[in-house]
Amino acid sequence: MCGIAGIINTPDEREEKTFLDALCGAMAHRGPDGYGFYSGPGVLLGHRRLAVIDLKSGDQPLYSEDRKVVLVVNGEIYNYLDLRKELEEKGHVFASASDSEVILHLYEEEGTNCVSRLEGMFAFALWDGRRKVCFMGRDRMGKKPLCYFRYGNTLVFASELGALRCHPKFPETLDCDALSFYFSLQYVPADRSVFKEVFKLPPAHTLLFEPETGRLTITPYWKIDFSRRAAGSREELAGELRRLVEKAVEKRLMSDVPMGVFLSGGIDSNIIAGVTAGLLKNTPCNAYTVGFEESAYDERALARKGAAYLRAVTGGNLCFHEREVKTSDFSLVEELVRHCGEPYADSSILPTALLSAFAREEITVALSGDGADELFGGYERYLAMTFAAKMDKLPRALRRLGAKAAGLLPAGGERTFSGRLRRFLDVCCGEPETRYFTLLDRCPPELKKRLFTPEFQRQITAPGAALFQAAAGPLTAAGPVEKLSETDILTYLPGDILTKVDISSMAFSLEVRSPFLDREVTEFAAALPWELKLDGRERKSLLKYAFRDLLAPEILSAPKRGFGVPVADLLRDRWATPAQEVIFDGPLKNGEFLNFAEIGRLWQEHRSRRADRSYILWTILIFALFLARGEAPRL
């Protein structure tokens, strides 16, 4: 796991080498074990290394035998041994034992089609000195990031937007559509960024840049397919699911450094921990969890029970480590905003970062349960949308009457029962095609009208629901609720969840691997009948059944809880002073983007406990911290 950067078709590589050093220096946390670079006519490539495989000879950049092709990689290729054997049989000579080097020789053998042969999490860039082209690729699910911009016929790229902003030609003009999307969903989806002329390479896509013509071509090479259906009984499908997940975990145990697992009180991490402990047998399997003094957000007791159960059923080699962490350190919020490089307001990035910091004290690689909720129907909102679809049988007038009646309930905020009920009934009144976005939207149109300045509103060219549908693209699922799962896999998973995991873990130089996002697992999950995922009111039904022997009764019966922090209370208490200073004394004060009076109203409602406005205030706070970094971006 590393950080990569490059400048292609630069007029002065000597001057631009200073800029490359700045880009890579800003990503030192991604690769604390070394810095390597390539400098050639018009081309600069840089690599920050986190040494995980081939500790002695795995430094990058990597070169072809004739040194005409140069490669930098961020990530891991899990099928590299099979590919290496195949390539050696064809006469290719390897200079290292690195997994990354197979990309180089596979490209020589198969050209740009090479990426479809790779199994892993990766973002790579190579310079082909023979063809005079730059070729990049990103993994199927979007585990590893890659962003870029152009000035003239020069291409600049990096693993992090925060690093990319170190280049003096970085275009700072904001994309108001993307920013409006951020206020709704708390992240900006690929291929957009919050900057108009800065882009993210989407998952499962390649980029080919030809400096001589300036042509840049983005091409998809894979897409998850929900149109197929797996055949077999429930027992047979559960058995195949288990086999594929166990295989995926086994692939991800390759490492020359200490590794372990994340363990919470949830089903997904307990499955991964149990499978890992079983595969390691007599080798200790270190499992890490963090908790908070606030009991509503503390899963340590449940994780402890899960660990004890796993220890009993897998041979006793699971070693459980727990720590209580404090949420009062506001500097961590500021640090993570810097790493994100654009507004990102999913507050669960904070506990994920604290967990990563704790685990990194002993290990360099951790396995996690990310992706299972999207793939196996784990979110409560899928159940809510199932009920909403059933309510379509009622006349719309009756549904509107119910929503109006719900409006008489106390406006306690989104986290209260009354707030959730009002939101659900409002959604039931809407059009089916925009209903899901309405359910997810944290800053609905009526609030945006009050919050956004007239100038900001004038520059928004598309409604959030349209951007959301465009980000998902054409869907293959047949069922209306199954389409939501597919939508989340294409939008929320790479844009929010995997962004959170990448930024928060790499901030502490920890590599996180996600077995549920293995290609074979994802393709099989997509082919499963939806009723085996959401069985009545039971979510992730088949997944639970397939691994029932690894799940403690307390884990199976516990309600699903997000991995969060008490933002509402923190904004009233420990973070009140620094948050108030950032919001009211910072760059928002000039009123260019947001209506200052409306922010003040929301703040007072929240501080006085008349309502819970923590979602929108947190979103505003992160935006203010983003604006406070360096040059103020422009509308």
Confidence of residue 558 (pLDDT cuts 50, 70, 90): confident
Q: What is the mean pLDDT of residues 511-539?
A: 96
Q: Which residues pair with 535 in a beta bridge?
A: 538
- Distance set, CA 387 to CA 390, 392, 393, 440, 565 (Å): 5, 9, 11, 16, 29
- Beta-strand ranges (E) seen in 254-324 are 259-262, 285-291, 318-324
Is residue 494 a contact partner of residue 366, using CB atoms and an 8 Å limit? Answer: no
Q: pLDDT tens, 283-298?
A: 999 999 999 887 778 8
Confidence of residue 402 (pLDDT cuts 50, 70, 90): low
Q: What is the mean pLDDT of residues 392-408?
A: 65
For the record, the structure tokens of 252 come out as: 């991800």
DSSP string, 561-599: --S---HHHHHHTTTHHHHHHHHHHSGGGG-SSB-HHHH
Domains of the chain, start order: 2-182+196-220 (3.60.20.10), 234-377+488-557 (3.40.50.620), 390-486 (no CATH), 567-627 (no CATH)
Q: Provide CB contacts within 8 A for 473, sequence distance 6+.
A: 490
Compute the distance between CA of residue 297 and CA of residue 281 in angstroms, rounded to an integer.
Answer: 32
- Under DSSP, is residue 425 helix (H, G, I), strand (E, B) or coil? helix
- Percent of the chain whose predicted confidence (pLDDT) is above 70: 92
Instruction: Tell me which DSSP letter residue 48 carries.
Output: E
Give CA 515 to chain center in angstroms.
15
Instruction: Tell me which DSSP letter residue 132 carries.
Output: T
- Distance set, CA 102 to CA 97, 191, 248, 447 (Å): 10, 27, 20, 51
The pLDDT score that the predictor gives to residue 615 is: 94
Q: Rounded to 5 degrees, what angle do the CA atoms 25, 29, 33 make?
A: 85
User: Is 429 a residue whose pLDDT tops 90?
Assistant: no
The pLDDT score that the predictor gives to residue 294 is: 78
Q: Which residues pair with 71 in a beta bridge?
A: 62, 126
For the record, the structure tokens of 389 come out as: 């679809």
Q: Does the pTM exceed 0.75?
A: yes
CA atoms within 13 A on the CB side of 538: 13
Q: pLDDT tens, 575-607?
A: 999 999 999 999 998 889 999 999 999 999 999
Sheet holding 2-8, edge to edge: 35-40, 43-49, 2-8, 154-158, 147-151, 198-200
Closest CA to 267 of 539, 488, 510: 539
Compute the distance between CA of residue 176 and CA of residue 196 in angstroms, rounded to an integer.
Answer: 8
For the record, the structure tokens of 545 come out as: 């059944």
Among 375-389, 425-439, 531-545, 612-626, which stretch is predicted with the lowest mean pLDDT?
425-439
Q: What is the mean pLDDT of residues 147-160?
A: 96
Is residue 100 a contact partner of residue 93, using CB atoms and an 8 Å limit? Answer: no
Task: Say which residue the tokens 């910091």 belong to.
Answer: 357
Catalytically annotated residue among 2, 176, 285, 428: 2
Is residue 631 a contact partner of residue 170, using CB atoms and an 8 Å limit? Answer: no
For the record, the structure tokens of 129 come out as: 């000195």
- Under DSSP, is residue 519 helix (H, G, I), strand (E, B) or coil? helix
Closest CA to 332 of 319, 316, 351, 346: 351
For the record, the structure tokens of 538 come out as: 């039971």
Catalytic (active site) residue 2 = yes
Q: What is the mean pLDDT of residues 267-286?
A: 96
Confidence of residue 80 (pLDDT cuts 50, 70, 90): very high
Compute the distance between CA of residue 162 and CA of residue 68 in angstroms, rounded to an integer.
Answer: 31
User: Is 412 a residue whose pLDDT tops 60?
Assistant: no
User: Is 563 a residue whose pLDDT tops 80?
Assistant: no
**Exposure class string for 186-203: b at 16+ Cβ within 10 A, else e:** bbbbbebbbbbebbbbbb
| Mean pLDDT taken over the chain | 92
